[in-house]
Structure 1
Amino acid sequence: MNLIFRLLAVAAAAILAALRGRRAGLLEPSTLKFRVWPTDLDINLHMTNARYFSVMDLGRADLMIRVGLGPAILRNRWQPVLGGATIRYRRSLRPFQRFTLVSRVLCWDDRYIFMEHRMETPGGLAALAVVQGAIVGANGVVAPAEVLATLGTNAASPPIPDAVAALRGQSLPAA
């Protein structure tokens, strides 16, 4: 199954959920269920590394629509982009295997929003990624505070986890 069909299915489901009043809170996880299709495979007959990131794009799209950012993105001509990512592969995803993608916002700073993506199977965690994203407008990066204001909140960021501190290039506290 081509990724464009997955994108259309995810967007349609998220829009329908939002129209039915089932908006997600900013810190609530988005959960999507997928299956590994032959077009997702590499020469080793497991999901190719690049496809993990493509599927995670779908998780971010779902989350943005469900929290209510869709109209602001369209109205302001904003573009969500990634500035960095780190991933840990734990298990292979085999042909036709089902898996769940759980995406959630971890925290934000004055410039970036940090998210976690977990690919889970009944056998356990297949992959875990932490990504650094931004919303870009005509004048550059849109501050997360401005993005949050479009959602009607001025919530403070949760504490920055160690994984995010490492992605930001900060040194971790001594053990």
Structure 2
Amino acid sequence: MNLIFRLFGVILCALTAVWRGRGIGFLENSVLRFRVWPTDLDLNMHMTNARYFSLMDLGRTDLMIRVGLGNAILKNRWQPVLGAANIRFRRSLKPFQPFTLVSRVLCWDEKYIFMEHRLETASGTAALAVVQGAFVTRGAVVPPLEVLAALGVDCPSPPMPDAVAAWRGQPLSAAAV
């Protein structure tokens, strides 16, 4: 994590929101607003590709804290990890340009939680990523249902989008064929 000051800011704001009773539900959006700083740029004078992934780490951090997973993560010594990521870049982000990072849980299966990250500008979507994440502890993956139980949530996964199923190598639904 090379965005230490942004990380501290995200954690502080997320904890403050939770303490004030403004947390979010497990399937709600986490919304963070940023600006492209000179340290985010590559030689082409737009945000470097690697920075998108670092900012998405911040989105997941905000999401985990705001949904109320902070205590469970610390108590159970869960470590959030990514198993895969798929990103599509649509527009460049220029120096000092403001943008919004919207992070949300799409669905889950018996092992992984799938999340979407959208970087939005006034001109539209700059990048869209889907990531496959999990929590691990003592070398084992924590089942998503156990994560939900820690939140007191008992609901089935939303339907897996066909694009996620195809990405995972699963058969598409009849509607997509």
- Matched residue, 2:42: 42
CA distance in 1: counterparts of 2:104 and 2:158, whole angstroms = 12
The runs of at least 4 consecutive aligned structure 1 residues that moved more than 4 Å come to none
Give the TM-score taking structure 2 as reference length.
Answer: 0.95
Question: What is the match of residue 6 of structure 1?
Answer: 6
- Give me the identity figure in percent: 72
C-alpha contact 1:132 1:167 (8 A) present in aligned 2: no
**Structure 2 partner of 1:149:** 149
Query: Partner letter of residue 45 of structure 2?
Result: L
Q: Is the 8 A contact 1:85 1:167 kept in 2?
A: no
The Cα shift of 1:167 comes to: 2.6
1:104-127 CA distance string (max 9 Å, x none): 000000000000000000011000
Mapped to 1, the partners of 2:6 and 2:12 lie a distance apart of 10
Matches within 5 A, 1:14-163: 14-163=14-163
Give, as a single letter, the amino acid of the residue that structure 1 aligns with 2:106. L
CA distance in 1, matches of 2:119, 2:163: 17
Distance in 1 separating the partners of 2:52 and 2:63: 17
> For residues 40 and 166 of structure 2, what CA distance do their matches in structure 1 show?
30
Taking the aligned partners of 1:168 and 1:83, their CA distance within structure 2 comes to 11
Q: CA deviation at 1:97?
A: 0.4
Distance 2:23 2:59 in 1: 15
CA distance in 1 between counterparts of 2:33 and 2:153 reads: 29
The Cα RMSD (Å) is 1.0
SS of the aligned residue for 2:94 comes to coil
Q: What do the CA deviations read for 1:21-59 (whole angstroms, capped 9, x no partner)?
A: 111001000000000001101110100000000000000
How far 1:81 sits from its partner (Å)? 0.3
Conserved 8 A contact 1:87-1:129:
yes
1:18–1:66 contact (8 Å) kept in structure 2: yes
Q: Name the CA distance, whole Å, in 2 between partners of 1:139 and 1:45.
A: 41
CA distance in 2, matches of 1:63, 1:156: 19
- The one-letter amino acid paired with 1:94 is K
Query: In structure 2, how many angstroms separate the alpha carbons of the residues matched to 1:46 and 1:63?
Result: 26
Aligned residues: 174
Structure 1: which 5+ runs fail to align? none
- TM-score by length of structure 1 reads 0.96
